[in-house]
Chains A and B, each alone.
Chain A
Amino acid sequence: MSLHSLTLHELQGKLKKREISSVEVTESVFRRISATEDKLHSFITLCRDAALTEAKKADERLKQGGGFSPLLGIPIALKDIFLSRGILTTCASKILGNFVPPYDSTTVKKLRAAGAVTVGKTNMDEFAMGSSTENSAFTATRNPWKLDRVPGGSSGGSAAAVAADQCIAALGTDTGGSIRQPAACCGIVGLKPTYGRVSRYGIIAFASSLDQVGPMTKDVTDCALMLEAIAGYDPSDSTSVDLPVPAYAGFLNGDVKGLRVGIPKEYFIAGMQPEVEQAVKKNIRMLEKSGVKIEEISLPHAEYAVAVYYIIATAEASSNLARYDGMKYGYRAPAKDLTETYMKSREEGFGPEVKRRIMLGTYALSAGYYDAYYLKAQKVQTLIKKDFEEAFKKCDAIITPTAPTTAFKIGEKTQDPLQMYLSDIFTISVNLAGLPGLSLPCGFDSEGLPIGMQIIGKHFDEATILRIGFACEQATEWHKKKPQL
């Protein structure tokens, strides 16, 4: 078996025993990238030389035996939304087409300190706005399971790279489903932690009250190890929360007896792909056999989540993206005066979906419409959050499908933005309520495309959803399946 196809925790053991070196793992990963990247387009930037230098340093640390961390010497990929010092960071936008950050995001800093090796920066929907990675200004990433399908989005490059063994693990960001939905589409594990669990400092802002960083990995154990490495309070992010970070992998013992899992009836809707529903329900029955108590619950305001989200998120985006004015960094178009410089730089620098969302957000915040849209949305957000509070009186976690269908065809939804927005119908409410959500593979459809199951937890209770996810994984082999490329 090739080194690139192993998991983080498998490699960690071999690295620690010095059966293999980080340089060998990194070279294996880059051989895999050379063999597959023409088909997939997972990356915007590759950092081969820097990665090999980092791998050599990791091998030195491993040789000395000191400063061991689970990530030491592990090749990882970063969504191109993470500021990485000295490495081009574009957010898949022309407006940041030549932007090289002067500092690292807190999460990148933590990964570097832990000795992880940065393979490269992955493709995404421009400014994380999208569910298919087709909104990248540079290239569309393909789904490794079927090349005419999207990998999901917005963290589609990270998801495809992990699924295709082009890296061992990756980081993504999730504002309305951007880690979980691509994880589901590509058959990997993806976690959106509780809002405040992981620092957002140094990730390019989309909707600041919803954005969250999380791991995208080959299995649940890797996910737990990555989360532990990136979680924690950061004085540079005033919304990060000062709570101790548990050793998450310690909760993965396969024992889920007595846990109560809620199944919301509103999440099994007409119009969803029957195979998705069947696969999720089969996994729920399996959990029941392992001693989990299944409760039917209700989240009555679930159907309003997409409408709320596309007001709140676009309003915040319109404000966050006002900074791209062509003055201090980013693209500046030649123009005759200041106003024309703003207009032309933004017209030429942003893609259609980003402009559409800036327009929606500006409209929702504009005089005469603020109460009808923004304030109304914030009030319904309260109702959505209360639904979950009620539900969690009856259960410890909630299980739903991650997305209503498996990966759709490239180009299928690009002409109809609203249809695209509805691909996140099951993930969005989790961001609106600030909760943690885990997606893991739970089956395949008749075309061989992976199906994802979502486990939602209470605030800061990532341990329980990882524990349940691990129990599912132990009972099945879905996470071990690999796409043929």
Chain B
Amino acid sequence: MKIARDEVRHVATLARLQFSPEEEEILTGQLDKILQYMEKLNQLDTTNIEPLAHAVDVTNAFREDRVANQPSPDAMLANAPARERDFFKVPKIIE
């Protein structure tokens, strides 16, 4: 086994996801099978190989810190699940 059920539960908490016990069992089996498949990467010796971050050479792109567009608060708040005046209304963060 590459991954056990309690690990699946731990990773779910990290990812802010939750699963029913049945889903958890199916998922553990599926993830295990996928991780077993990924084992094949260990056939390769990568001791002196540099990791690749981007396939095409890109350098940092800098620009002036200037406001480029200014959509109205109404446009930006139009998709908000909850709104109060010009603010996003969210559940209480500090008890």
A385 contacts B by Cβ under 8 Å: yes
Tell me which of B17, B30, B58 contacts A347 (CB under 8 A). B17
Closest to B60 in A: A238
Interface presence of A45 (CB below 8 A): no
Q: Interface segment, A22-30, A149-157, A351-359?
A: A351-359
The B-contacting residues of A in range 356-415, CB under 8 angstroms, are 356, 358-360, 362-363, 366, 373, 375-383, 385
A239-274 CB contacts (< 8 Å) to partner B: 239, 241
* Known A-B contacts A235-B63, A310-B38, A363-B3; A433 and B55 likewise in contact (beta carbons under 8 Å): yes
A328 on the B face (CB < 8 A): yes
Q: Taking the complex as formed, is B67 at the interface, i.e. its CB lies under 8 A from any CB of chain A?
A: no
**Contact call A338/B92, Cβ cutoff below 8 A:** yes
From A99, A310, A343, A459, B18 is in contact (CB under 8 Å) with A343
- Pick from A102, A325, A358, A434: contact of B76, CB below 8 A: A102
A347 to B63, CA, bound (A): 39
Looking at the assembled complex, report how far the CB atom of B43 sits from the nearest CB atom of chain A, in whole angstroms: 8
CB 8 Å contact bits of B38-63 with A (1 = contact, 0 = none):
10111010100111111110101101
For window 81-128 of A, CB contacts with B under 8 Å fall at 98-100, 102-103
Task: Judge whether B5 is part of the interface by a CB distance below 8 angstroms.
Answer: no
- Beyond A379-B50, A433-B55, whether A341 also contacts B15 by CB under 8 A is no
Q: Give which listed residue, B12, B33, B78, B92, contacts A359 with CB less than 8 A.
A: B12
Q: Is A50 an interface residue (CB 8 A)?
A: no
Bound Cα distance A442, B44 (Å): 35
Mark each residue of chain A from 324 to 363: 1 if its CB lies under 8 Å from any CB of chain B, else 0.
Answer: 0111111110010111011110110010000110111011
Please report the total number of B residues contacting A with Cβ < 8 Å. Answer: 50
B residues near A472, Cβ cutoff 8 Å: none
DSSP class of B's interface residues: helix, strand, loop or mixed?
loop
**How distant is A450 from chain B, measured CB to nearest CB, in Å?**
29
A311 is an interface residue with CB less than 8 A from chain B: yes
Chain A hits for B51, CB < 8 A: 375, 378-379, 381-382
**Min CB–CB distance B19 → chain A (angstroms):** 8
Known: A338-B92, A342-B16, A380-B46. Is A356-B56 also a contact (CB below 8 A)? no
Instruction: Given contact pairs A196-B56, A381-B55, enumerate 5 new A-B contacts (beta carbons under 8 Å).
Output: A103-B71, A304-B40, A327-B88, A358-B15, A378-B52
- Give the interface of A toward B (CB within 8 A): 98-100, 102-103, 194-196, 209, 235, 238-239, 241, 301, 303-304, 306-308, 310-311, 318, 322, 325-332, 335, 337-339, 341-344, 346-347, 350, 355-356, 358-360, 362-363, 366, 373, 375-383, 385, 417-418, 421, 431-435, 459
